[in-house]
Amino acid sequence: MRIIDYTNIALKDLRGQKIRSSLTLFALIISTVILVLMAAISIGGRQAIANQFGTDSALATIMVTPNQSGSSLNPYGNVQEVNATASKLDDTVVTQLASLSHVQSVTPRSHVWEFNHFSLEGNGKQFVAQAEGVAADAHISLSAGMPFGSNDDKNSIIIGLGYAKELGLESDPQALIGKMLTITTQKGYRGVEAKIPGVNASAAENEVFNKSETTLQATIVGVTATGQDQNNIYIPLGWAHAVRTARYQEGAILKTVDQIAQDGYSSLQLRTDETANVKEVSDAIMQRGYGQVSTLAQIERLQQFTTLMWAILGTVALIAVVAAALGVVNTMLMAVTEQRHTIGVWRACGARKSFIVNLFLIEAGLLGCIGGVVGVGIGFILSKFVNEYITVLLKSQGLALTDVAVIPWWLMIGTVLLTTLFGILAGMYPAYRAARQDPSRTLSSGQ
Residues 384 and 440 in one domain: yes
Please report which helix (H) or strand (E) contains residue 344, including its range: helix 340-348
**Domain boundary, last residue among 236, 264, 292:** 264
**125 half-sphere exposure, CB direction, 13 A CA radius:** 10
Asked if 316 and 398 sit in the same domain, the reply is: yes
Residue 309 and residue 232 share a domain = no
Residue 81 inside a domain? The answer is no
* Same structural domain, 250 and 316: no
- Which helix (H) or strand (E) is 159 found in, with range? strand 156-159
317: domain range? 3-53+301-444
Burial of 149 by CB count in 10 Å (0-12 exposed, 13-18 middle, 19+ buried)?
exposed
382 and 253 assigned to the same domain: no
In this structure, the strands spanning 142-145 and 215-224 are antiparallel
Q: C-alpha angle 424/372/31, rounded to 5°?
A: 95
At residue 401, the pLDDT reads 57
Q: Are residues 149 and 247 in the same domain?
A: yes
- Tell me the C-alpha to C-alpha distance, in Å, between residue 356 and each of 1, 20, 299, 339, 435: 11, 21, 54, 11, 5
Quick check: is 91 in a domain?
Answer: no
- Contacts of residue 108, defined as CB under 8 A and 6 or more positions apart, other chains included, come to 89, 91, 94, 134, 135, 237, 265, 267, 268, 269
Does 49 share its domain with 147? Answer: no
346 occurs within a structural domain: yes
Is 68 inside any structural domain?
no
My answer on whether 227 and 125 are in the same domain is yes
Q: Is residue 237 part of a domain?
A: yes
Residues 406 and 311 in one domain: yes
Last residue of a domain, one of 212, 241, 264: 264
Which one of 244, 264, 284 terminates a domain?
264
Question: Which amino acid, one-letter code, is at 5?
Answer: D
Residues 204 and 254 in one domain: yes
Model confidence pTM above 0.75: no
Q: Quick check: is 376 in a domain?
A: yes
Report yes or no on 344 lying in a domain. Answer: yes
Same domain? For 229 and 118 the reply is: yes
Contacts 24+ apart (CB under 8 A), 320-324: 320/30, 320/31, 320/34, 320/35, 321/28, 321/31, 321/32, 321/35, 321/418, 321/419, 321/422, 322/422, 323/27, 323/31, 324/24, 324/27, 324/28, 324/30, 324/31, 324/32, 324/371, 324/422
Number of domains in the chain: 2
Query: What is the residue-level pLDDT of the chain in tens, covering all 447 positions?
Result: 667 766 777 777 777 777 777 888 888 888 888 888 888 877 777 666 666 554 556 678 888 888 765 444 443 344 444 444 457 899 999 999 999 999 988 999 999 999 999 999 888 789 988 899 998 888 888 999 999 988 877 889 999 988 988 888 888 999 999 999 999 999 999 999 998 888 788 888 888 999 999 999 999 999 998 777 788 899 999 999 999 999 887 767 778 999 999 999 999 989 888 878 888 888 888 888 888 887 667 667 766 776 777 777 778 777 877 888 888 888 788 777 777 777 777 777 777 878 888 888 888 888 889 989 999 999 999 988 887 777 666 665 545 556 777 888 898 999 899 889 988 888 888 888 877 776 666 556 554
Residues 322, 254 share a domain: no
Tell me the residue type at 426.
Answer: A
Closest CA to 31 of 286, 275, 296, 368: 368
Q: Is 421 helix (H, G, I), strand (E, B) or coil?
A: helix
Angle at 80 between CA 75 and CA 84, to 5 degrees: 145
Looking at the domain assignment, is residue 58 inside a domain?
no
